[in-house]
Structure 1
Amino acid sequence: MLPPYRSEPFGDFSSSDRRAAMQRALRHVSGQFGASYPLVIGGEHIMREEKLASINPCEPKKVVGYVSKADQELAGQAVLAAEAAFQTWKKVPVEARAQVILRAAAIMRRNKEELAAWMIYEVGKSWVEADADVAEAIDFCEYYARQAIELQGQDQPLAHNPGEYLQLRAIPLGPGVAIPPWNFPLAIATTLTVAPIVAGNTVVLKPSPRAPVMSVRLVEILEAAGLPPGVVNLVMGDDDVLGDYLVDHPKVRFIGFTGSKGVGLRVLGRAAVRHPGQNWLKRSILEMGGKDATVVDETADLDAAADGIVAGAFGFQGQKCSACSRAIIVESVYDAVLKRVVEKAAQLRLGNPAQPEANVGAVIDKRAFDSISSYIAIGQEEGRLVVGGEVVDHELIKDGGYFINPTVFADVSPKARIAQEEIFGPVLAVIKAKDFDEALAIANDTEYGLTGALFSRDVERLERAREEFHVGNLYLNRKCTGAIVGVHPFGGFNMSGTDSKAGGPDYLRLYTQLKSVAEKL
């Protein structure tokens, strides 16, 4: 019998032993830079001459690894391999499927520092952020394994009907596609892969070309845990070559996607098209970003509010869909909170996250650097620059690292571009509101609805936020990032996606369909 689910504890790097373990892991991983990795299709490891390089965003001259690039023919073979494996995997008892996933969690737990080290190098996460990513991946495995047993280990409850034997079963959908982003390259790849397979589906995993090595590590872990060939198939390559092809494939039953609004809408539109040989409606499970706000009223603990704003805005360089990109402050405390935010943001240490003292690393690549820089230029016209915006110290960029200083613009109009458009970088727009009513209206005045936070000591306002702050994840008197599996089910409204609530009690149902059986006695 499984013990109750408990979330994985985060690492304590104040411990000298843990710090030493992390340093050893970083040295070990750096010694593997430049290795080549195969595609995995039907259990066969396929090494191709054409490769995609995954680079270290802090030192782009260093290649973390080379992954084999798939073409559409190989992607098609992966879908067929998933379809073939589904015929046997769906018949494996749910307890046995769950056991594979629990073994995967145990392997991750034994290798936490090494997995975190790979993320530090591949996407530029700090020690704390990388450790949290691994913990979240472990949590997804543990949580979904238990969910699957509860959902599929017995028939679902029904009302009694005399003279009939009744059953309601949650059965899998079939082969699907998982398209995770680069910013949580282990955790989100895990949720989009593990949830469907523990429910009896099979998957073609196509990671972001910006962070493919972490998906290689995930598939290695699943193989080591005993996952049969073809249940998860790994194809890597350019989005424009593989993305539409996999979404359109007539054998694909579902698409799990996390990424930008634009790509998510494209997935949704294409998934709605019926292709020859397709006799079902594809299910789209989408998480597409946000323009998240932290509201501060005049009753709030102003130091706690400033801490929450800065942590939410600049953790992992603001490269989170849940990041605080708007701080909306009532005018009576606006100057006081802004002063605290400026002081705390200025204290953040920009640097290579392989060093434990670095709070803020590089953004993911040149494309992101250019996009964020363009928004900083726009911000110069739309607000008052109070932190950042200047050229990064030359010592950090001597190797070409994509570093951007934490940047804060004050006195921003609620309708400004930097207050409405997702920047996905370390840029914060600070907006003044005349009172709480206006602050709440500004917070809701966006096409997104993912996360939000309110700092207030007023019970009536906290209750109003519960009812009126239109986001999928609302946080009261704490930062708007840092959802924990099983504790804060994660997913948003409006253009933030389909409110799929990853890590929540109903998430696994998205990868199943209910079959009702009635037998007359």
Structure 2
Amino acid sequence: MIAYKHEPFTDFTVEENRKAYEEALKQVKGYLGQDYPLIIGGERVTTDDKIVSYNPAKKDEVVGRVSKATKELAERAMKSADETFKTWSKVDPAVRADVLFKAAAITRRRKHEFSALLTYEGGKPWKEADADTAEAIDFMEYYARQMLKLAEGQPVESRPGEFNRYSYIPLGVGVVIPPWNFAFAIMAGTTVAAMVTGNTVVLKPSSNTPVVAYKFMEVLEEAGMPAGVINFVPGPGAEVGDYLVDHPRTRFISFTGSRAVGLRIVERAAKVNEGQIWIKRVIAEMGGKDTMVVDSDVDVELAAQSIVVSAFGFSGQKCSAGSRAVIVEDMYDKVVERVAELTKELTVGDPADYGNYMGPVIDAGAFKKITSYIEVGKKEGKLIAGGDSDDSTGYFIQPTAFSDVDPKAEIMQDEIFGPVLGITKAKDFKEAIDIANNTEYGLTGGVITSDRENQEYARENFHVGNLYFNRNCTGAIVGYQPFGGFNMSGTDSKAGGPDYLQLHMQAKTTSEMF
């Protein structure tokens, strides 16, 4: 099998690529404001009640109106998925993989269109949107290849007169609840992982970004996915989400989102409902409070750039965002000064404009939460950059950094999920690692060091699922840096890794005597 290579990112310094993206923005602009149905068993179902998706950079601009599911429609989707499982689970894994290979090819041809849609619906600047779409393509390609391997099962021992096999079979109906921040990549990745392994899916996308999910459903249909394999039912979490999680025919739940919602799902999934004959499996990725650690005697520019990119890429709206920096005292003043300078250089505005590094935060609720934390930060530390916000046209917050913050302060412990960075000082490297470990999360971390002994100390003692040396702590690539974290960051399910698909299957041993 050919070694896997990830989808390349677009070089927007090339004029031809910039023009192509501008054309895609015009193309998507042309279909903003349309209505979209649910898809249940391959049928389009329209409801009077709509989820209205707005452009967070222009809060009065409607991206699309998507029909809103009810409990009754969720039940219909569950029945469709349950019935379709009987046939889809028996389809040759190579055929299921082929659907993904074709879907990846279709998406690749429409790459800029999907990215432009992410710019409008998710508020993603060009590079962030391009990376999101590339990751979606990667997930499709990678999981399809993984499925071809897993179709062969795993080798086990046999004895004379006895032949043993170890194979994988699908679980059943999966409820997939993806987030808005990687509205294409995570939505697509979690959905196709469940589908290619022979399960059927009830997909409840984020109410902030349902249009890109609908467009992806169209791609899968074009690629040959049979009706009922994936059922598209956007709707409110408290009504539709709870109903699907609790359902006795739900076999597993794949969730990406906040700690609070993730723990609620784990709790509800643990209850055995009438008619349920299995223990529901939960695959959860629940966020982080991630730290960049800076050692002594390092390149100040590398350290500062790594901190700023980690903290403020996509306005800090990543579970991997480095919202904390811990700097060893002899480097502290130099790095803090450079971080402040770099942060002040960042441009904020409409992400459709290539010149803007940061766009808006996702909605009014996020704007209110993040700005309230900035006010807390002004009491807990020294404001060295940013601090301002403006929601008159869109939800824009300046990248904000605080120095001299106590490691136990609110802004150093709570997941803010916005462009807010807290910086603290450590007396030595070991104390810096202790501070980095002092949260309830354990997702990503970054260490800038030129000391091999300290690097190995961090490798052993920095308790995170994804640890990066001498670079930023965001931007895991499918197949290269399998992604998932410890503690309250979730079930360490390692998306884009060699053992992710097995979470959607169960192993079966058969033994034959001759």
TM-score when normalising by structure 1: 0.98
Q: CA deviation at 1:169?
A: 0.8
1:265-344 alignment runs, 5 A limit: 265-344=263-342
Aligned match of 1:144: 143
Aligned counterpart in structure 1 of residue 447 of structure 2, from 450, 454, 458: 454
Shift of 1:10: 0.2
Secondary structure of the residue that 1:505 maps to in structure 2? coil
Aligned partner letter, 1:79: M
Deviations 1:454-503 (A, max 9, x none): 00000000011110000000000000000000000000000000000000
1:438 matches 2:437? no
Determine helix, strand or coil for the equivalent of 2:323.
strand
Question: In the alignment, what sits opposite 1:494?
Answer: 487
Instruction: Identify the residue that residue 256 of structure 2 maps to in structure 1.
Output: 258
Distance in 1, Cα, partners of 2:282 & 2:224: 28
Q: Is the 8 A contact 2:253 2:281 kept in 1?
A: yes
Match of 1:412 in 2: 405
Q: State the SS of the aligned residue for 2:455.
A: helix
d(CA) in 2 for partners of 1:494, 1:71: 34
1:236 partner amino acid: P
Instruction: Give the match's secondary structure for 1:222.
Output: helix
What letter corresponds to residue 395 of structure 2 in structure 1? Answer: Y
Are positions 1:55 and 2:54 aligned together? yes
Q: How far off is 1:398 after superposition? A: 4.4
Q: Which residue of 1 aligns with 2:15?
A: 16
**One-letter amino acid of the structure 1 residue matched with residue 314 of structure 2:** F
Map of 1:103-182 to 2, 5 A cutoff? Answer: 103-152=102-151, 154-182=152-180
Instruction: Determine if the alignment matches structure 1 residue 375 to structure 2 residue 373.
Output: yes
State percent identity of aligned pairs.
56
Q: 2:97: which partner in 1? A: 98
1:54-97 CA distances to partner (integer Å, 9 max, x unpaired)? 00000010000000001001001101100111100011101100
Q: Which amino acid aligns with 1:63?
A: V
Match of 2:463 among 442, 446, 470: 470
Instruction: Give SS of 1:329's match.
Output: strand
SS of the residue 1:86 aligns to: helix
Superposed CA deviations along residues 174-196 of structure 1, whole A, max 9, x for unmatched, are 11100000000000001110001
Match of 2:184 in 1: 186
Q: Work out the CA distance in 2 between the residues paired with 1:501 and 1:29.
A: 33
Letter in 1 for 2:307: I
**How far, CA to CA, are the matches of 1:375 and 1:225 in structure 2?**
45
Structure 2 Cα separation of the partners of residues 315 and 155 of structure 1: 40
Deviation at 1:218, TM superposition (A): 1.2
Secondary structure at the counterpart of residue 396 of structure 2: coil
Q: Is the 8 A contact 2:177 2:255 kept in 1?
A: yes
Q: Which runs of 5+ in 2 are unaligned?
A: none
Look up the match of 2:211. 213
* Residues in 1 aligned to 2:202 and 2:298: alpha-carbon distance in whole angstroms: 47
- Distance, in Å, in 2 between the alignment partners of 1:106 and 1:304 is 37
Q: Take 1:454 and 1:217, find their aligned partners in 2: how far apart are those partners?
A: 39
User: Is the 2:371–2:389 Cα contact (8 Å) retained in structure 1?
Assistant: no
Secondary structure of the corresponding residue to residue 253 of structure 1? strand
Task: Give CA deviations for 1:375-405 in whole Å, capped at 9, x if unaligned.
Answer: 001101111111011244xxxx542x00000
**Once the 2 structures are TM-superposed, how far is the Cα of residue 48 of structure 1 from its aligned partner?**
1.4
Alignment of 1:190-201 (within 5 A): 190-201=188-199
Give the Cα separation in 2 of the matches to 1:9 and 1:134: 10
Unaligned runs of at least 5 residues, structure 1? none
Deviations 1:23-62 (A, max 9, x none): 0000110111110001000010111121110000000100
Q: Which runs of 4+ in 1 moved over 3 A?
A: none
Task: State the 1:197 CA deviation.
Answer: 0.7
Match of 1:347 in 2: 345
Q: Shift of residue 299 of structure 1?
A: 2.0
Q: Indicate if the aligned counterparts of 2:115 and 2:126 stay in contact, CA closer than 8 A.
A: yes
Deviation at 1:279, TM superposition (A): 0.1
Cα distance in 1, alignment partners of residues 457 and 284 from structure 2: 28
Inter-partner Cα distance in structure 1 for 2:268 and 2:124: 33
Identify the residue that residue 83 of structure 1 maps to in structure 2. Answer: 82
| 1:517 pairs with 2:510 | yes
- 1:303-357, CA deviations, whole angstroms, 9 ceiling, x for partnerless residues? 1010010001000000000000000001111000000100101000011000000
Residue by residue, what CA displacement relative to the aligned partner does 1:120-159 show, whole Å, maximum 9, x if unpaired? 000100000000000000000000001001001x232001
Task: Supply the AA of the counterpart residue of 2:75.
Answer: G
The residue aligned with 2:240 is 242
Output the amino acid matched with 1:60: K
What is the 5 A alignment of 1:58-73? Answer: 58-73=57-72
Q: How far has the Cα of 1:228 moved from its partner?
A: 0.2
Q: Which amino acid aligns with 2:139?
A: F
Of 162-171 and 105-114, more deviation after overlay is shown by 162-171
CA distance in 1, matches of 2:174, 2:388: 45
Report the residue type matching 1:386 in the other structure: I
TM-score, scaled relative to structure 2: 0.99
For residue 169 of structure 2, give the secondary structure of its aligned residue in structure 1.
Answer: strand
Q: Which residue of 1 aligns with 2:420?
A: 427
Q: Does the 8 Å CA contact 2:235/2:241 hold for their aligned counterparts?
A: no
Provide the rounded CA distance (Å) in 2 between the counterparts of 1:311 and 1:377. Answer: 23
User: Residues of 1 paired with 2:305 and 2:398: CA distance?
Assistant: 18
Tell me the alpha carbon deviations over residues 196-218 of structure 1, each in whole angstroms, 9 at most, x when there is no partner: 11110000000010111111011
CA distance in 1, matches of 2:276, 2:89: 20
